[in-house]
Each structure stands twice: as C-alpha cells, then as structure tokens.
Structure 1
Amino acid sequence: MAKPRILYSLLWLLHATTTSALFALDSVSFGHQAQLSPNGRALPGWSLSGDNHQVQLLSDRIILTPPYPGNARGAAWTDETVPSEDWTADFLFRASGQDMGTGNLNIWYTKDKSHIGTNSVYTVDNFDGLVLVIDQYGGTGGKIRGFLNDGTQNFKAHSSLESLAFGHCDYSYRNLGRPSNIRISNRNGLSVFVDDKECFRTDRVTLPSGYHFGLTAATADNPDSFEVSKFTVSSSSPSQPQHLNHPAARSGLPPTLEKLDRFPGSPEAVPDRPADEIKSQEDQFADLHNRLQGMTHQVANIFGEFDILQRKIEEKHEALMNALPSIAGGSAASGSEQQVQPRENTAAIDEIRRKMEGMERVLQQIQRDIEGKDYKEHINGLQMAVDGLKGGLTEHLPDTVAMLIRASAPRMGMFVFVVLAFQVMLVGAYVVYKRRRDRMPKKYL
C-alpha cells in the first residue's frame, strides 16, 4: 500500500509543478496586475471600439455594453498575436440587466480581427478561428456554446447556426452579483471550464499560434450590461518582452516612448515626462515626434468619425427619398419617365403643402375671431328673447286656447233648433203615413 501512495504523491507533485509553471503573456492580458491602465485613457496591448456608445475603461473593469442605451456594441481586441500553441485563457465577466434583458458576449480567437470588429456570432460573415458565445439561446437561462470556422462558413447567412456548435453547456450567468469565471485551455485538445466546472471538452481540436484574442458584446432594446474585469493568457513558455527588439534595448539604453502606430483604433496616449529627463536632442526629437504622431492619430480618428457620420446621414437621406410615394406607377419605366417622376412628386408635395398652409391660415383666422370678439352682449340678448318668449307663452297661452275653442265650437241654439226640426219632421211623416193607410181599401177574406 505504501508504493501506490508514494507513486500517487509523486504524480500529484509533478502535476502541481507543471501546472504552477505557467507564465502570463502580458502583451495579450489585462487585469492580472494592480490596475488595468496606467493613465486611465487606454488599455495597454488592447484596442477598444464601440457602436452607439463608447467603451468605458475603469480602474478595475471594462464596460463593453452599458445598461443604457440599447442596441449597442462593444469590442476589445489584442494588438499582438499569441506566440505559443500551448496556452490557457482565464476570463472574468459579469452580466446584469432587467428581467427581460437580452444580449450576447463573444470570446474570439481568430486570425483576422479586422474582419470581425464589433460583430457577434450572429452578424459575422466568414472568419478563421474559434468563438465562444454566452447568451440566452433557446429561451434558457443561459448557455455557453463553442463554434469553429476555417473561413468557409458564412455564419450570418447560415439557416441553422446551432448545428455548427461543437460543444455547449447550460449556465445562468445574469444578475449573479459576482463575476463568473471562464477558462479556456488549449493543451492536448480544447477544453472549457465555467466556475471550475467542466463545460465541454474535445481532443480533436488544437488551435494554432499567431491568432488574436478578442471580446465583443451586443445588446438589443432591453440591454444587458457586460463588464470584464480580467482576461489573462498564460503559457508554459515565457514570452520575450517586445522592447528587446528595440534598438535602444539592444544598445543598453532605457527604452524610449512607445509610438502610436496602431491606427486605426483608439490610440494610446503618450505619458507625461518631466522636462529635466529630456536632455539630449535625440530624446527631445523622439518625444516631439511621439506627441505629434499621437495628435495626428487623434485628428485622423476625428475625421474618420465625421466620415462615418456623413455616410449615415446620406443613407438616411436616401432611405427618406425612397420612401416618398410614387405617383407615376410602374417599376419598368423608361429613362424619360424616371426623370419626370421626381418633378411630379415635387409638384404633388408642393400642392399638399399649399393646401395645408391655406387650412392653417383659415384656422388661425377663426381663432383670432373667436379670441378678438366679445359675444357677451349677443348671449344676453338671446337670453332676454328666450325669457320673453317663455313669459308670453305662460301668460297668454290659456286665454288663446280658450278663445280658439270658443271660436271653433258650434252654437247651442243652432243645435237645439236642428234637433227640434228633425223631430217635427218625423212626427209629420208619421201622421201622413197613418192617413194614407186609413184611406187604403180593405180586403176581407
């Protein structure tokens, strides 16, 4: 029993030694040191960009998408590639938002970062590499899925994107009140761990070196806020500092200021230096050159933003012109008809504008008449007329009705005379009948 225990202890010690012998790649990592940025304006080794908002760089985290407004995108990409094929990436993030909040977080390891930009797995076309997607796909509380692409698949145009996932697991990541940890290991295959628990693993995938790491997040109308506090890439072989290839480093002199040669993107600001440190003409020229170059990049970024704004305004204008109602029907109109159609549309719009202006003038005139005239006297006169009519009806109506009844009713004397005359006539007729009957001859049997 002692030998297996000793063998097990030796194996555990060997594993602990090899696991602890990992070196952080500072050029593609952040959050593993005291603070993210030395000056609070740029993240060393990374380029930040956003759509519909500006990615916020704080002292302890990066806010890729804010809680407001929605429909925002944010991205962070490494300036350099990963020099080793044997690496492990530790990623700390937190997602918070409303109960019905939506959004997705993407972890990229790709060959061409410029083609992806701020896109997500749902809006990217073709790419070469790996993407790990964290969202609420399928109405679940959260899911982590892995996708691979060799540059031949168009994810945006694919009808069944879920079928391309090679691994997935369920994970409720929203509103936990704590950061979530994701670890991606590219050693003897590819494995993904979430909060120190295995999510999925495959031995058939090995990612090459020379690729860029990137983080992108996208939200909808009800946004989720995605915050990243650490992204550390470690390897079993230490990386060589870049300044060793610098001429000043080879000559033994202290390294000069880093040039801002990462345009396009957010340029890194040149740190301030005391004037007594810049004594030689070479140092003065280098400092002046760096600051002028940084200013040039800033101006170029401003012109780039103005160019994007101009294109958006032109697209809005074109969409508005296309939305105007077409008077001359038919999509297969000739060239002359297509030239006449805008004029007819303009004439129709002018006619509608004139009619609306006329209606507005009439309404304004009515409003001025109502506000300018005093209708109190007219209302008082109308009320007096109504009162007079009411008094006349109540005072003279009974007498008038009685007079009408008396005038239209027959006289009583005339009625009595008619009755008596009718009775006299009846009596006379009866007497005449009796006399004629008595005078008639009698027949005896």
Structure 2
Amino acid sequence: MYIASRTLRTVAWSTFAFSAARAQYVIDNLSFGQKDGVYISPDLRAIPHWIIQGNADYVPQVLSDRVILTPPYPGGKRGSLWAQDPLHHTGDWTAELDFRATGMERGAGNLQFWYVRDSQAHETPTSLYTASKFDGLVLVIDQYEGHGGSVRGFLNDGTIDIKSHPEPDTLAFGKCDHAYRNRGVLSNIKLHHAEGFLEVMIDGESCFKTDKVKLPEGYYFGVSASSAPENPDSFEIHKFIVSTTKSVTREEPNKQRYPPPDHQAQANLASQKIHEQQTHKQQNKQSGRLGDQTSIPQMLEDVVAANIRSQQDQFADLHNRIQIINNRQALIHDLLEKMHTDAENRHNDLMNRLVPLDDRSAATIRNVEKVERTTMEILRDLESKDFKDMMNQIHRALENNHEGLKVALPDVVGKVVRGHGPSITSFLFVAVAVQIMITGAYVVYKKRRGGAPKKYL
C-alpha cells in the first residue's frame, strides 16, 4: 500500500497538534507542591510567591509537604494563603487544590478557594459568611445541609454584601455533594476555565459546569479556612497547581532538565538505523515480500533530524515518534484510571466490611449496658429494702397454721376413725360366730371320741 508524503505530513502534524493541545504547562510562580520530593518551603517558614496569614496570635504552620491552615486544637482559628502574583491569562487554564480535612465525628469548619481582584487579596483570612464585598469567584467546601459535605460556587461583582444577605446560601450558582472529612486520602478540587465554559471537578469527576461564566485575567488565587470554636476541623493544603495549555503564556519558562545531547553519537545511531532500514527493505524486495510500512514500533532511538536525508523518512520518523508519545500517554492514563478504580473498589469493599462490624459491636455494647443496668437495679433493691417485716409475717403465718393443726387434727382423726372403723353390731356378730364355731367343733370332737373303739389293757 502506497501512502503519499503529503498524507503522512498531514497526519504527523495533526497528531503533533493534538498532543500539544493536550499538554499542560505548570505556572511555577502560582503553584507549590508540584514537584515530588521537593519541599514546598525552603526554610519551613514561608512559601515562595505566596503570603501566609492567620488571625490574632495564630500563624498557619508550614511543614515540608503541607500547610496546616487550621490546627486540630484549639478551635476558632483562621488561616489563609494568597498568591503574590496575578494570573495573566484569559484562555484555557486550570487551578487544582489538594487538601485534607480531619476532625471529630461532629466537627465543623469550612474551606474557601478564591479567585478575586487585587483589592480583596492579601487581606485578613475570612470565610464567605464574613467576607466583605469581593469581586470574583469563591468555591466553598463545608457541611452545608448536613449531607456530609458539599462544594458550592459563588460569584460577586463587588456589589453584593453576602454576609448581610438574609439567605446567602441561595446565591450559589452551582453545587454538588462531597464527603471530604476524615477520608484518609487527599481530596482534589479542580477549577477548569476555558473559552466558553467553567467547570469544577472533584477527584476527577465533574461537580458542576456552566457556559455563562467567564473569569477575567489579573485576579489573584487564594485559599482560606476557618474552624469552629468547639469540635474544630483541621484543614491541610498539600498542593496548589495552576497550569495552562499554552507554553507562551507561562509566567516562568521551563528550565532545561537534561544535559545537551551528544550529536556525534546521535549521528552514528541515525546512520546505523537508516542503513539497517535500507538493508531490510532490499531483503524484502529480493524475497518478493513487502515490508509492513504501517506498523509503528514501540520505541525509537534518538537521532538528529539532519541525518535523515529523505523527506519521507523524516516525516515517517516524526509520525512514529508522535504516535509512540500518544500511545504511551494513553497507556499511562489507562493505568492511572485503573489504579484509581482499584483503589476506590478496595476502599468501598473495606467500608462495606467495616459497617457490619460496627453494627454488631454497637448491638453487643447495648446488650452489655442493659445487663449492667438490670444488675445495678437488683443490687439497689437488695440494699435498700428491709426484709424483717416479711420474715415476721412468715413466722406469724407458720404459728397460725400450727395452732390450726392442733385444734383441728383430733376432730379430723376422730371423724376418720368413726367413718372407717368397725361398728358394735359387726363386733357382736363376729364374737357370736366364733363361739358357735368353737361349740360345734367341741361337739364333733366328743361325738367322734365316743364312737371310737375302746382299748383295754
């Protein structure tokens, strides 16, 4: 199959443009925590290009990999982070925040994600309900409506006094539920602004999206948090990354991370590669077989473009490299999605297993408490009641029964004897019968003796 060089050129440049459009460039002076293994603060006291503030005598604590805006104890604290530089970009940009909230079972507090004008930035940390008339956008993360957590978006042009509004929660233009407390993992909230829409995402899933909001440039990013006086929540900020898809709009250019290539070595590798390709083509022609020109290799060695003489080979090499980049990027994305899905499944499975255990434990505890209450009631009854009167009553009852038996027993026995004993008539009859029998026996004896023969001596 023959493919024209113009077609290859078109495909290569289209693929390259698509890859470039998907690339994200981090704005370093508006971000921190974007580099793994690098401390967000060089001296553990401040973050470059950011202002850290607290209320009264409290200052947020800066650690190597996080900033604690509000501590777990004591409550009633406020902390904030404000970028010193504004965002000079009106096109496609993304700001994402990694945070964690921990506290007691019924803890309270809130977190604000700000994008406001210069007049509101760098002020004392505050919340939506205590803020003055601000100009910009704020995302509020709190336990609104008792759903375990929610994310809501508010807009203001500097004319609305939200803290004096009778129902400030009705001013939200978008919201979604998100259980952010005591998760054990970081929560990721992403604000994506593009030409034509504004989208808020939570942990990679869309929270709400609108095409009626367009944020201007020159505004400042900020994060603030406040905790309740009783049962406070602790808010930790781990990352804040602002990125854009256009490298020319970055406030700071990327620094060279790799040493310059060895051009002589690359030229030798390129010559050797081209020689092998030509030899392979000649062998295919001699054997009457066509090479599979549409197959894309899994990896290519680094070569210098000037060493590839043929225009078709140049564009084929560019096309293959861009396809490899896209394939590897798609593979990484799939692996990350699979890891995220597996982690969510393991988490859900673990939670499903823990819930029945909690129920059984609660039922067992309730039964034990019930037995303890019953035992305590019996002990209190035994200790508080006097059984002397009861024993006297039993004793008197026994005495009464004894006296009754002494009085009634002879009469009862007499009645039994009289009712079941022999009568006088029967006794006389038996006596007369016995005498008659004896008399008869004596008469018979005499008669027999008189009739017996006599013996003489």
Go from structure 1 to structure 2 and tell me whether the alpha carbon gap of 1:11 and 1:159 turns closer, same or farther (over 3 Å shift). farther
Name the counterpart of 2:185: 178
CA distance in 1, matches of 2:144, 2:204: 23
Name the counterpart of 1:166: 173
CA distance in 2, matches of 1:154, 1:100: 30
Q: Match of 1:128, as an amino acid?
A: D
Name the counterpart of 2:148: 141
Query: Cα distance, 1:241 vs. partner?
Result: 4.1
Name the counterpart of 2:236: 227
CA distance in 2, matches of 1:28, 1:12: 30
Query: Cα distance, 1:156 vs. partner?
Result: 0.5
Q: Does 1:113 align with 2:120?
A: yes
Name the counterpart of 1:56: 61
Query: Cα distance, 1:159 vs. partner?
Result: 0.6
Structure 1 moving runs of 4+ over 4 Å = 6-16
**What TM-score results when the alignment is normalised by the length of structure 2?**
0.49
Go from structure 1 to structure 2 and tell me whether the alpha carbon gap of 1:13 and 1:197 turns closer, same or farther (over 3 Å shift). farther
1:92-130 Cα deviation digits (max 9, x unpaired): 000000001000000000002347531100111200000
CA distance in 2, matches of 1:139, 1:170: 10
Q: Match of 1:76, as an amino acid?
A: L
Name the counterpart of 1:71: 76
Query: Cα distance, 1:40 vs. partner?
Result: 1.8
Q: Does 1:100 align with 2:106?
A: yes
Query: Cα distance, 1:239 vs. partner?
Result: 2.5
- Give SS of 1:17's match: helix
Identical columns (%): 45
CA contact (8 A) 2:191 2:199 kept: yes
- 1:27-426 matched pairs, under 5 angstroms: 27-33=29-35, 34-52=38-56, 53-86=58-91, 87-111=93-117, 112-114=119-121, 116-188=123-195, 189-220=197-228, 221-235=230-244, 236=246, 237-241=248-252
CA distance in 2, matches of 1:124, 1:48: 18
5+ residue gaps, structure 2, are 1-7, 254-457
Go from structure 1 to structure 2 and tell me whether the alpha carbon gap of 1:177 and 1:13 turns closer, same or farther (over 3 Å shift). farther
- Give SS of 1:60's match: coil
- Give SS of 2:96's match: strand
Query: Cα distance, 1:17 vs. partner?
Result: 3.1
- Give SS of 2:164's match: coil
Go from structure 1 to structure 2 and tell me whether the alpha carbon gap of 1:158 and 1:11 turns closer, same or farther (over 3 Å shift). farther
- Give SS of 2:235's match: strand
Query: Cα distance, 1:14 vs. partner?
Result: 5.1
Query: Cα distance, 1:15 vs. partner?
Result: 4.6
Name the counterpart of 1:247: none
CA contact (8 A) 1:125 1:157 kept: no
Q: Match of 1:130, as an amino acid?
A: L
CA contact (8 A) 1:113 1:214 kept: no
Q: Match of 2:104, as an amino acid?
A: Q
Count how many residue pairs are aligned between Structure 1 and Structure 2: 236
CA distance in 1, matches of 2:33, 2:216: 25
Q: Match of 2:205, as an amino acid?
A: K
1:388-440 Cα deviation digits (max 9, x unpaired): xxxxxxxxxxxxxxxxxxxxxxxxxxxxxxxxxxxxxxxxxxxxxxxxxxxxx
- Give SS of 1:162's match: helix
Go from structure 1 to structure 2 and tell me whether the alpha carbon gap of 1:232 and 1:105 turns closer, same or farther (over 3 Å shift). same
Q: Match of 1:197, as an amino acid?
A: E
CA contact (8 A) 2:50 2:81 kept: yes
Go from structure 1 to structure 2 and tell me whether the alpha carbon gap of 1:11 and 1:115 turns closer, same or farther (over 3 Å shift). same
CA distance in 1, matches of 2:231, 2:90: 39
Name the counterpart of 2:331: none
Go from structure 1 to structure 2 and tell me whether the alpha carbon gap of 1:15 and 1:135 turns closer, same or farther (over 3 Å shift). farther
CA contact (8 A) 2:76 2:226 kept: yes
**What TM-score results when the alignment is normalised by the length of structure 1?**
0.50
Name the counterpart of 2:22: 19
- Give SS of 2:163's match: coil
Query: Cα distance, 1:90 vs. partner?
Result: 1.4
CA contact (8 A) 1:116 1:127 kept: no
Moved more, 64-73 or 109-118: 109-118
Q: Match of 2:232, as an amino acid?
A: P
1:197-228 Cα deviation digits (max 9, x unpaired): 00000011010110000000011121101001
CA contact (8 A) 1:23 1:238 kept: no
- Give SS of 2:22's match: helix
Look at both structures and tell me which one has the larger radius of gyration over its CA atoms: 2
Name the counterpart of 1:405: none
Go from structure 1 to structure 2 and tell me whether the alpha carbon gap of 1:190 and 1:222 turns closer, same or farther (over 3 Å shift). same
Q: Match of 2:111, as an amino acid?
A: L
- Give SS of 1:156's match: helix
Query: Cα distance, 1:18 vs. partner?
Result: 0.8
1:41-96 Cα deviation digits (max 9, x unpaired): 21100000111522000000000000001011000001110111132001100000
